[in-house]
Amino acid sequence: MSDLHERARELDAADPLAGHRAEFALDEGTVYLDGNSLGALPAHVPARMADVIGREWGELRIRSWDESGWWTAPERIGDRIAPLVGAAPGRIVVGDSTSVNVFKAVVAATRLAGEGRDEILVDATTFPTDGYIAESAARMTGHRIVPLDPADIPGAAGPRTALALVNHVDYRTGRLHDLPGTTAALRAAGALAVWDLCHSAGALPVGLDAHGVDLAVGCTYKYLNGGPGSPAYLYVAERHQAAFDSPLPGWNSHADPFGMTPGYRAADGAVRGRVGTPDILSTLALEAALDVWDGVDVNAVRAKSLALTDFFLECVRAYVPEGRVVSVTPEAHAERGSQVALSCPDAAAVMPELIARGVVGDLRRPDVLRFGFTPLYVGFADTERAARVLADVLAAAS
């Protein structure tokens, strides 16, 4: 038994978050390191959904919009997500997909920025859909796209900049970008900051209000464990809510939704981010899933995340022969999210073999093995085992 194996056991025994693992439906024979794509199922969600389907839908039917609180779910759940991303109540609404919310945020930001600002700075390493939507929004609004490395955005913002769309954590490498500094630079230039939090919310503190972020979007099926395709969310800073002009006005965001009037009049607050009828089943599954966050300090989550990723890199260096894999995830804590990405020439063959041996990560073509560390249910023994199995798979391949 290796020293690293023993140290992993000691670290798990001292881990203040270790007890949360029991709240998830996990196979003890599997090391699940793909929570940065799809979070594990909180064990109590099936019973909650059985009640939603059998009683709220099956028995109460349409009465559940009022009696079961379906109508207010998008804002109610937004208020539950708010502390995890550093927002006050009333600033987040849940609904639609991340892609739809990116479109709302980008177009609304061009309108908030005003005339004379005709450029949109876009994270050149962004998740592809964000780039696609930004380009479409630019064509619709007459703006031009300026792709940049996120580190160059603060220096590039100027009098023509309407907004910058940036990923808080790079989906491929796990690099954590400078949200406070970039937001401050954009604000100083008179531009708006729109952040994609898909790979950071639930893994590390974000501080939307504290850092003056204008608009933000995020998904809920990764570190927030809301389930496949669970609804995304939109954050609108309080100072922008009265002027927030959504490019997708719908009856759900109308000041008098049941008046069914032909003219649109936007509701107050974050409700402006709603569009049509919310997907109640997935929305309520998300609400139940968020119970696992009750009493959890995001700072403790961040501390464990860094400890896990540090330990994984240490184990990889100890077990894997030098040169077989290279980490493309930054070593510096201030630049690292909650995943480790390893460049490996045989990645396309290695990842399926890892999964067959019970270590589940994912592949980003052509050569990146990606491992996500979800501190609520991933432990140090999982981390050590994953590195050891990776070494075995690479040895067998050679």
Annotated binding site: 98-99, 127-130, 196, 199, 221, 251, 277
Whether 221 is a known active-site residue: answer yes
Beta strands in 324-364 (DSSP E): 326-327, 339-343, 359-360, 362-364
> Taking the CB of residue 255, how many other CB atoms lie within 10 A of it?
13
Among 117, 172, 175, 222, the active-site one is 222
Between 98-113 and 128-141, two packed helices, what is the crossing angle to 10 degrees? 40
Catalytic entry in 196, 279, 367, 382: 196
Check 24, 32, 103, 127 and give the catalytic one. Answer: 127
What stretches of the chain show up as alpha helix (H) in DSSP? 3-13, 45-51, 64-67, 73-85, 98-113, 128-141, 153-156, 179-188, 280-289, 298-319, 347-356, 380-397
Strand order in the sheet with 215-218: 92-94, 233-236, 215-218, 192-196, 161-167, 119-123, 144-148
Report the binding-site residues for pyridoxal 5'-phosphate. 98-99, 127-130, 196, 199, 221, 251, 277
Tell me, yes or no, if 336 is annotated catalytic: no
Q: From CA 374, how far away is CA 37, in angstroms rounded?
A: 11
Distance of alpha carbon 108 from alpha carbon 137, whole angstroms: 10
* DSSP string across 7-59: HHHHHHHT-TTGGGGGGB---TT-EE--TTTSPPPBTTHHHHHHHIIIIIIII
Question: What residue type is assigned to position 251 of the chain?
Answer: W
Asked if 370 is an active-site residue, the reply is: yes
Q: Pick from 165, 183, 157: which is nearest to 128 by CA?
A: 165
d(CA 380, CA 373): 10
Contact 149, 141 (CB under 8 A): no
Marked catalytic residue, from 221, 233, 371, 380? 221
The partner residues of 243 in beta bridges, in order of sequence, read none
C-alpha 329/C-alpha 396 separation (Å) is 25
Q: Which residues pair with 236 in a beta bridge?
A: 215
- Of 117, 272, 304, 370, catalytic: 370
Active site residue 196: yes
| Rounded Cα gap, residues 239 and 78, in angstroms | 18
Question: Cis link prior to 366 (omega < 30° from 0)?
Answer: yes
Strands 359-360 and 31-32: parallel
Is 170 among the residues known to form the active site? no
DSSP conformational letter for 107: H
Catalytic positions, written as ranges = 127, 196, 221-222, 370
